[in-house]
Structure 1
Amino acid sequence: MAPVETPPAEALLGLAARLASPAEEQAAALPGCLATVRRMTDLFRDAAHREAATESLFQNLLQILKKASHEINVTCKDTNKLAHLDSHLLLLSQCFRCLRNACVQCANNQNIMRNLGLIEASVHLIQLLQNVETDLESLLTAFRCSLQFLGNIATGNTDSQNRIWKLAFPSLFLNCLNHQDEKIISYCCMVLFTCLNPERMRELQEENNLNVVLAVLQASRRYPESEWVFLVVTNHLLKCPELVKAMYAKLSNQERTMLLELILSEISENVSVTSEEIARFLACCFEEKCQAVLKLASVANDADKEALVTIRLLDVLCEMTSNTGQLECLQACPDLLKTAVNTLQLTHLAGKQTANIFTVTHSATGQEPICHPAVGFKSHLIRLIGNLCYKNKANQDKVYDLDGIPLILDNCSIDDNNPFVSQWAVYTIRNLTEQNDRNQELIAQMEQQGLADHSVLESMGLKVEQQDQKLILKSVRKKPNL
């Protein structure tokens, strides 16, 4: 005969009775109390037991948390007692696991806990745990479980989110985000992600709160595989143009580089991670600061922070214009193409005036790759020009008017300072000449006059033919897949 299962309400009632004993008795029998809470934790994995939970049960758990707070306070004042803290921390962790499980898909339990003051008690305990100087693993575990509980009590519950935000923002979030433990940072981002809404995004834009945003960005750089950090960045921070602009204005050049590297890594994986407004903003930043890169022509300035920002801006714009999501928006930016062509002209000229990173170099000896932040900069400028001219007649004509076509042809040779520059030049010339008779004719005339190297055109898969006294630029091989 199969055993009869105890009804959920009855099972919980019996366990709750064990927790209702006076605090002095609990302290004397911590192992038994721990076993009881552990049993409740397991029961709350089942929806029927969660629905059968009573206010008195959560009141008992609250008393345990308050007792733990008292013990931690006493212990922190006497470092000789730190070793005795371990058993209390184990019980504390199990209480938070129990509360965490009881919240899952159960708004009634969330509301009961909030009304009892469990959020306030939890935030207070987190603040205490942050100040305990010990390497006990049980402390880290309790810290992690407390944040998981806050995340669960806030999930789908606006009132709980409001309470947590009022108590925890910004100081608790900032302290947790700057913690050395990856899991604490991740669980903190879980709480932050759950609580954020449009109104709170506006709060983040305030100058005093931008440190929280910066801490999230730093966490993303430290732990790129962290799912919750990733979700905060992609679903909230990078979706808000006003916040991106506020951040960018506040950050140092080094921090701007970090932000741009983060954006670059995210848009490489997810083309829709940023809005058109952010794309236009970054284009304007590039237009304003593009000439800073010329500082890198001097060895003394080879690590200029403003120049490094310019390089990363170009990298981001190249990636954004490589997908249809942002391409049309950036093609319509009135000065971006002109800036790219003019910057290519300036860097090309700087490379001819003196020997520097913008000078064309070629070594057949297989030497070590050149290590310099501006390596590939001209290649990327040509790539950006090619992207902006893709199936865009107005931009094709603008490059013609800016004398950009001879400039690009002059950058077709192999250059150790600009890997793949010849391939990007091929791609750009093809985009400039596609269904554009005037640009085709210009290149054909240049070849006839000896201004365009025949071998260069040939390497591009192009040749010039004369038909009816007119020069025609023709393709002689299949377009490469770039």
Structure 2
Amino acid sequence: MAAAGGAVLCPARLESVRALSGLLREARRRETAEESVFGDLLEILTSASRAIEQSCRESCGLGDVDTCLLLVAECFRCLRNACVECARNQHLLRNLGLIPTSVHLIKLLHGMQVEEELLLPALRCSLQFLGNIAAGNGDSQNSLWKCAFPDLFLLLIFTDHLLQCPELVKALYAKLSNQERVALLELMLAKVGEKSSVSSEELEVLESQAAFLAGCFQEQCGAVLSFAAAPQAQDEEALVTVRLLDVLCELTSSSGQLDRLQALPGLLEAAVDTLRLTHLAGKQAVNVFTATHAVTGQEEVSHPAVGFKSHLIRLIGNLCYKNKENQDKVYELDGIPLILDNCSIDDNNPFVNQWAVFAIRNLTEQNERNQELLAGLEEQGLAEGSALDSMGLEMEKQEGRLILRSARKKPS
């Protein structure tokens, strides 16, 4: 490593960069920071890149690895802070060339043969910086896309690092093709499904992306209707909708932040409306949304929309769990009869009966108006016999209140 580079990476610089990082947390400091300050940070990161490249090229040690990586992490922390709600600094840092420098350094960091604990802070802060510089800034998003896709993007996907930075996910998601979005959502789904092996911090990061994913689902949920006329299921936008719903079901199933997810504006309405539209599409013509029951049980279940209505009902049930406002919202949307109308055995929607039971229980728990509506529908016979009977449920009056309970077994 050159003498100049060594001076730049010396331990004495670490404290001054840490102090700068603290100052840049303040909006006033961010808005008035001089360009030369960011030029110094760029110089440190450039020197770090050269040092790492030299150590790899010559198969020699980096020297004080701890100091180098700590300094890199702190520089990125400064840059991350500088971009928070500050378009001025986003443009300034982009024009200085910090996006390609950062992307190059991230690739080098990932290739270093050192303990993961040493690398993680630098990787995390670098990704947070890229997310913040791209947040709400089209020019920075385009620059990041040119530098990061596909190599860095694929690297981050396969190492799960991408999922640790919500802002970077949002910036890149906007640029992805539908096929690439499906791959990203399937990665998220696998990660959320590994709750037992995911740290609480990682799970919190994934949950923090729920509002963004819910917004994406609301924007394109209608695309799934194309499957009604697509036996071969080639519509990739519709497939994105299916995967968005899968992820949202998992995020709302056992989230420590369920209250926040339940309060997302428009999500519940979108789920109920989409259930109504797919149910209607299945009645108007024979397609994947049509309830079917094969005697042989040998029907193909490879269509991506198989289970879609089940998952909509699951999501509705999750969003109504111990939430009076959402229970009432489903009532107003006339969603209870709709759920009951979808509770029969259906090979196109495995476990739909179980998810309907779950949703109805959540909709009627401590909600007298919903209980009374359900009892009234039961008295009317619900067209083709009792839906509650088919679900193994019954309404019972106790001390003047209606209670939903498991049906008593009748003697044979």
- TM-score normalised to the size of structure 1? 0.59
1:155 lines up with 2:69 in the alignment: yes
Conserved? CA contact 2:309–2:352, under 8 Å: yes
Note the C-alpha offset of 1:292. Answer: 0.4
Select the structure of larger CA radius of gyration: 1
Asked if 1 retains the 8 angstrom alpha-carbon contact of 2:102 and 2:126, the reply is no
**Which residue matches 1:172?**
104
Alignment partner, residue 256 of structure 1:
181
Structure 2: distance between partners of 1:316 and 1:147:
43
Structure 2 gap segments, 5+ residues each: 4-8, 15-42, 77-96
- Contact 2:378/2:387 (<8 A) preserved: no
What is the letter of the counterpart of residue 144 of structure 2? N
Which residue does 1:133 correspond to in 2?
Answer: none
Structure 1: segments with no counterpart, 5+ residues: 1-57, 63-102, 127-141, 224-228
The CA deviation at 1:171 is: 6.0
Q: Following the alignment from structure 1 to structure 2, what is the Cα–Cα distance between the partners of residues 394 and 312?
A: 27
Amino acid of the structure 1 residue aligned with 2:283:
K
Please state how far the C-alpha of 1:125 moved relative to its aligned partner: 5.3
Change in Cα spacing, 1:121 to 1:196, as seen in structure 2 (3 Å) is closer
8 A Cα contact 2:344 2:390, kept in partner? no
For the 8 Å contact 1:154–1:194, the answer to whether it is kept is: no
How far apart are the structure 2 equivalents of 1:159 and 1:475? 57
Deviation, 1:363, is 1.4
Q: Counterparts of 1:436 and 1:402 in 2: how far apart (Å)?
A: 16
* 3-state SS, counterpart of residue 366 of structure 1: coil
Residue in 2 that maps onto 1:316: 247
1:233 matched to 2:162: yes
Letter in 1 for 2:357: V
The change in CA–CA distance for 1:213 and 1:433 in structure 2 (over 3 A counts) is farther
2:337 is the counterpart of 1:423: no
Q: CA deviation at 1:397?
A: 1.3
For the residues of structure 1 that align with 2:68 and 2:272, how far apart are their CA atoms? 52
Residue 253 of structure 2 aligns to a residue in which SS? coil
Q: In the alignment, does 2:205 pair up with 1:273?
A: yes
Matched, 1:245 2:180: no
CA contact (8 A) 2:48 2:72 kept: no
1:476 and 2:411 aligned:
no
Partner of 1:439: 370
TM-score with structure 2 length normalisation? Answer: 0.68
Provide the C-alpha distance between the structure 2 equivalents of 1:367 and 1:324, rounded to a whole number of angstroms.
36
Moved more, 259-268 or 198-207: 198-207
Q: For 2:323 and 2:228, locate their aligned partners in 1 and report how far apart those are by CA, in whole Å.
A: 33
Distance 1:167-1:466 versus aligned 2 partners, 3 A rule? closer
1:219 and 2:155 matched: yes
Report the 3-state secondary structure (helix = DSSP H, G, I; strand = E; otherwise coil) of the residue aligned with 2:394: strand
Query: CA 1:260 to 1:143, structure 2 compared with 1: closer, same or farther past 3 Å?
Result: farther
TM-aligned CA deviation for residue 460 of structure 1: 3.2
Whether the 8 Å contact between 1:409 and 1:452 is mirrored in structure 2 is no
> Residue 447 and residue 275 in structure 1: after superposition, are their counterparts in 2 closer, same or farther (change >3 A)?
closer
- For the residues of structure 2 that align with 1:248 and 1:384, how far apart are their CA atoms? 23
Tell me the SS of whatever aligns to 2:206.
Answer: coil
Q: Which amino acid aligns with 2:338?
A: L
Going from structure 1 to structure 2, the CA distance change for 1:354 and 1:453 (only over 3 Å counts) comes to closer
Contact 2:48 2:68 (8 Å CA) reproduced: no
Q: Give the deviation of 1:143 after TM superposition.
A: 6.2
Is the contact made by 2:396 and 2:403 (CA closer than 8 Å) also made in structure 1? yes
Q: CA deviation at 1:342?
A: 0.8
Q: Cα gap change, 1:143/1:307 in structure 2, threshold over 3 Å: closer, same or farther?
A: farther
- The 5-angstrom pairing of residues 9-158 of structure 1 reads 107=11, 119=48, 122=51, 154-158=68-72
Query: What is the CA RMSD across the aligned residues, in angstroms?
Result: 4.3
Shift of 1:458: 2.9
Residues 73, 123 of structure 2: 8 Å contact kept: no
Describe the shift of the 1:151–1:449 C-alpha distance in structure 2 as closer, same or farther (beyond 3 A).
farther
- C-alpha deviation, 1:283, in angstroms: 1.5
Aligned to 2:126: 196
- Secondary structure at 1:250 match in 2: coil
> Could you tell me how far 1:396 is from its partner in structure 2?
1.0
Contact 1:216–1:233 (CA under 8 A) maintained in structure 2: no
Structure 1 residues 358 and 170: CA distance shift in structure 2, 3 A: same
Deviations 1:319-364 (A, max 9, x none): 1211243321222123211111110000001011111111111113
CA distance in 1, matches of 2:58, 2:298: 50
2:319–2:326 contact (8 Å) kept in structure 1: yes
Aligned to 1:457: 388
Instruction: Give the share of equivalent positions with the same residue, in percent.
Output: 47
Counterpart position of 1:374: 305
CA positional deviation for 1:294: 0.2
Q: Tell me how far 1:212 sits from its aligned partner.
A: 2.3
Question: Secondary structure in 2 aligned to 1:333?
Answer: coil
User: Structure 1 counterpart of 2:173, which letter?
Assistant: Y
Instruction: Report the Cα offset of residue 318 of structure 1.
Output: 1.1
| SS of residue paired to 1:418 | coil
Residue 395 of structure 2: SS of its match in structure 1? Answer: strand
Amino acid at match of 1:377: F
- 8 A contact 1:443–1:452 mirrored in 2: no
Aligned residues: 342
1:196 counterpart SS class: helix
* Cα 1:423–1:408 shift into 2, 3 Å: same
